[in-house]
Amino acid sequence: MAGSFDGRVALVTGGTRGIGFGIAAELAARGARVCLTARKPDALAAAVKRLGGPDRALGVRGSADDVDHQADAVAQTAERFGPVDVLVNNVGINPQYGPLVQADLAAVRKVFDVNVTGALGWVQAVWRAGMAEHGGAVLNIASVGGLRPGSMIGAYNASKAALIHLTRQLALELAPGVRVNAIAPAVVKTDFAKALYAGKEERVAAGYPLGRLGTPQDTAKLAAFLLSDDASWITGECVTIDGGVTLGSFAE
């Protein structure tokens, strides 16, 4: 697959660590030039260096749900590398924990602003900046929490369900020039998900038929496939990548 993204330009939101950086690194290894967005300048600088420096990568600081930041990141990318061919909506937040009936509605609104409305804003930004004319591919990072209810992160789960439906809606509206897909990971070993497995990884992994938690590399390879020409007849899909955990109860 080396070279399968030669000449293409990718933009990955929240791309300095975890699933986002894993995808960015996979695309860069396959020839893409990549723009990363995040809030912390030091993390952006470090990630750009790891991807090969300014000839291969660009970091743009800002809040993912800020429309001015979205427009600026897309414009800077076009100036440095050319118009965006590939967009990865990876940013996700989860400030709400506990029963939804007791949730702070301001926190719930923020979850949806970033995880859903923000993702749509990024699609609008790249569409207006040239993807409408030259085509491209979009990948939204959802979650198995968007496929079934569970745990005490109901706002996050509901936002990911909305993102999955948004994926289908956009796939219909933007075809045939732009493909839009999503992936729904279970627990992947990242800092963002650490609370779900830290200090209990062996016990959590025992509930997965494949016997382990996911890694950023697992999700990156699936993402690269869905964004590549090998998936040119796939759009509007949400692909579950979960080690089998959503199959149901698992008995050893």
* Active centre residues (catalytic): 156
Q: Which two tokens stand for residue 69?
A: 């930041």
Cβ(236)–Cβ(137) below 8 Å: no
Q: How many CB atoms lie within 10 A of CB 205?
A: 18
**In the structure encoding, which two tokens stand for residue 115, read together?**
């995880």
Q: What share of the chain is helix, strand, coil (3-state, %, to 5)?
A: 45, 15, 35
CB 103 within 8 A of CB 145: no
Give the SS3 label for residue 87: strand
Sheet holding 9-13, edge to edge: 57-61, 33-38, 9-13, 86-89, 136-141, 178-185, 238-241
Is the bond leading into 176 cis (omega within 30 degrees of zero)? Answer: yes
